Amino acid sequence: MRTVISRSLFLLATVFTLGYTRAAEPVRINAMSKKTALERNLDRALNNTLAYPLLAKDDMTGEVFVSFVINKEGRIEVIDSSSPNEKLKAYVLRKLARIDIGDNPDGSWKTTHMVFNFRPEKI
């Protein structure tokens, strides 16, 4: 009889504890749902286009700072770019010029500032 009561109390305590912890979890809002279609297309295009230039014979490490807008045709127009590594900067600008994310009927999209970091992975 004692084991039945202790099991019941344990089960009851477990149910209340799990219910409490689930209720105390923070509400997670899906960050992707707040992004516009243009932002999602830009993210997808950047992820598919820019990668570490493995086949380059020069030193291709460093940071490239880029400011750009997206025009009505969906092409990236670079406003400003800078990097201590000129060859890496040229690589990034060449890759950005290839990106076409689709029509942008609203006209020039907000100025976006990005930093592209190129570093080899440490094993």
Query: Residues 41, 71: contact at Cβ < 8 Å?
Result: no
Is the pLDDT reported for residue 21 higher than 70?
A: no
Q: Report the phi/psi class of residue 104: left, alpha or beta, with left for phi > 0 and alpha for psi in -120 to 50.
A: beta
Is the pLDDT reported for residue 61 higher than 70?
A: yes
Q: What are phi and psi of 83, to 5 degrees?
A: -170, 145
Is the pLDDT reported for residue 23 higher than 50?
A: no
Is the pLDDT reported for residue 114 higher than 80?
A: yes
Mean pLDDT of the region 47-68? 80
pLDDT of residue 39: 82
pLDDT of residue 20: 44
d(CA 65, CA 50): 14
Mean pLDDT of the region 12-21? 48
Domain range list for the chain: 34-118
Calculate the average pLDDT of the chain.
Answer: 75
Name the nearest CA neighbour of 116 among 76, 64, 71: 64
Strand order, beta sheet including 76-82: 76-82, 62-70, 112-118
